[in-house]
Amino acid sequence: MKILIDIGHPAHVHFFKNPMRMLQQRGHEILVASREKDVAVELLDSIGVKHLTISSMGNKGALSLLGELLSRDTKLYKIAKQFKPDIMMGIGGIFIAHVGKITGIPSLVFYDTENATLQNTLTYPLASCVIVPQCYQSWLPGNRHIRYQGYHELAYLHPHYFQPDKNIAIKNGLSAQRDTFLIRTVSWQANHDIGENGWSADLLKRLVSTLEKRGKVLISSETALPESLQHYAYQGKPGDIHHVMAFCRGFIGESATMASECAVLGVPAIYAAETGRGYMDEQEKKYGLVKNIKELNWKKISHGLNWLLEINENQADSLHKHLLENIIDVSEFVVQCAETFPEPLDAYQATMVQ
């Protein structure tokens, strides 16, 4: 088979890297359409994946996103006509859904973000199949979706594929003697971020001031930090940050993806943003590894920090074990989707709605 994969974000690289490797080992030909967003291209280069960069992240706002939509649709259409894939896959999937509808090439859209209402409205009706975690809480095309028991982040952080190395973590900024806390701030330039606002500079500074009294603080930021906080910036390799995460005492951030990454690694995580996610709700209510905060003020953040600091290592290990006992091998599931679509995937407890 020929498989075209559309990647627009660093998290998409992580999600597809193991399925791409497995598909190639089974004799399938892979081509990636990439996008300059944060370290996405750097990550693709680091794992040696053949890719064509066809767009980049523009300015914040709907007009910029619309311009990229039109440009990327056109370029992806040309690639599809030349490469002639048997199937296309992507996260979010707006571009492959459009191109797939025009060309007749099946498009498999993996997604987990309910509040991306504009993107989902432009994508789901045109996609061949929308594939979501069981906990997904929004509208889906009635006869063209699959649910599975797991999370995107398990495609690359499941123990089958990732074993954290503390020596690598220390080389990339983890403290060898003290607790380390990871903070993540985002740019709020994704389509699902329209209308949302992030933390204030004062809130971030107060959070850092509080945490540095208890350990080392690292900040992973999509935008330039204030000068007073620049020495906290994560300086390690982008591809090694999951080793650092795995040994942190806790995570506090605006990124649902990174909060979920920490949770599936057994690290307590606070997700502080105005809108939620179904998988964040499940990781809080079912597994106790996440605290969701939607009111961005110090009183709520401080309450969340108290929760995080009360969880000891043994408790975190127990919660992590419970999570791993209740999920599937997501990378193998992705491969099965590509190889068997449109057949159901009963072996992976996925439900194809007929």
Q: Please check whether residues 286 and 182 belong to one and the same domain.
A: yes
Q: Please check whether residues 70 and 197 belong to one and the same domain.
A: no
SS3 215: coil
Q: Please check whether residues 13 and 44 belong to one and the same domain.
A: yes
Its domain, for residue 86, covers 2-157+328-352
Q: Please check whether residues 220 and 308 belong to one and the same domain.
A: yes
Q: Please check whether residues 288 and 315 belong to one and the same domain.
A: yes
Place of tokens 């993996």: 110
Question: Which is nearest to 276 in space by CA: 131, 137, 90, 118?
Answer: 137
* Rounded Cα distance, 163 and 99, in Å: 37
Q: What is the pLDDT of residues 102-131, one digit of tens each?
A: 999 999 999 999 989 989 999 999 999 999
Residues of the chain with pLDDT under 70: 58-64, 187-198, 344-354
Q: Please check whether residues 9 and 22 belong to one and the same domain.
A: yes
Percent of the chain past pLDDT 90, that is, above it, reads: 75
Rounded to the nearest 10 degrees, the angle between the axes of helix 278-285 and helix 256-264 is 40
* Rounded Cα distance, 10 and 15, in Å: 9
CATH number at 28 reads 3.40.50.2000
Q: Please check whether residues 242 and 300 belong to one and the same domain.
A: yes
pLDDT of residue 60: 58
pLDDT of residue 352: 43
Element (H, E) at 157: helix 154-157
What residues contact 123, with CB distance under 8 A and at least 6 apart? 92, 93, 94, 97, 109, 111, 130
What integer best gives the mean pLDDT of the chain?
90
pLDDT of residue 354: 34
User: Residue 284 in contact with residue 276, Cβ under 8 Å?
Assistant: no
Structure tokens at 296: 């961005």
Q: Please check whether residues 226 and 93 belong to one and the same domain.
A: no
Q: Please check whether residues 265 and 333 belong to one and the same domain.
A: no
- Single pTM value for the model: 0.89
pLDDT of residue 42: 86
Q: What is the DSSP string of 59-121?
A: -SSHHHHHHHHHHHHHHHHHHHHHH--SEEEEES-HHHHHHHHHH---EEEE---TT-HHHHH
Structure tokens at 269: 């995580």
Q: Please check whether residues 315 and 338 belong to one and the same domain.
A: no
Count up the domains in the chain and report the number.
Answer: 2
Q: What is the pLDDT of residues 256-278, one digit of tens each?
A: 999 999 999 999 999 999 889 99
Q: Please check whether residues 143 and 183 belong to one and the same domain.
A: no
Q: Please check whether residues 276 and 318 belong to one and the same domain.
A: yes
What residues contact 52, with CB distance under 8 A and at least 6 apart? 31, 32, 33, 34, 79
